Amino acid sequence: MNVLVDSSVWIAYFRGSDAADRMDWLISEGLVVTNDMILAELLPALLVRGERRLARLLRETVRYPLTPDWDDVIGMQTVCLRNGINKVGIPDLLIAQHAQQRHLCLYTLDRHFTLLSQHTSLKLL
């Protein structure tokens, strides 16, 4: 199963955190995919810091097109609110909806995705 890697993991990976071994394996196995939302979160900071090679490599990652299903996004936000999962932004809801829609496993370090996965079919690594 392909893995949609959230920006929280990419940032930890770039900093050499514990995510490095798992990410190296996912990359070597060709399982990592991305979308334009995640790239929009990552690329500006890389470009400002002059990390052009890294930005190019991220752009070469398999990219699944984002085709939001707004009813699903609204449904997820409703589930969040009903279960006390507050302050989940629309970008993160779009990422979760995208992972579900494309049958991707989401790799993230953000706790609200873990909480959301307990109430939806979102699959986490």
Which pLDDT value is given to residue 113? 94
Which pLDDT value is given to residue 29? 94
Which pLDDT value is given to residue 18? 77
Which pLDDT value is given to residue 33? 97
| Calpha distance 104→10 (Å, rounded) | 17
User: Coil, helix or strand for 28?
Assistant: helix
pLDDT digits (tens, 9 = 90+) for 20-78: 788 989 999 999 999 999 999 999 999 999 999 989 999 999 999 999 999 999 999 99
Q: Which residues contact 25 (CB under 8 A, 6 or more apart)?
A: none
Specify the residue for token string 């995510």. 19
pLDDT at 97 exceeding the cut of 90: yes
Q: What are the structural domain ranges in the chain?
A: 3-124
| Calpha distance 48→50 (Å, rounded) | 5
Cα distances (angstroms) measured from residue 71 to each of 66, 75, 93: 15, 6, 11
This prediction has a pTM of 0.92
Specify the residue for token string 């969040």. 80
Which pLDDT value is given to residue 15? 86
Domain covering 3-124 in this structure, CATH number: 3.40.50.1010
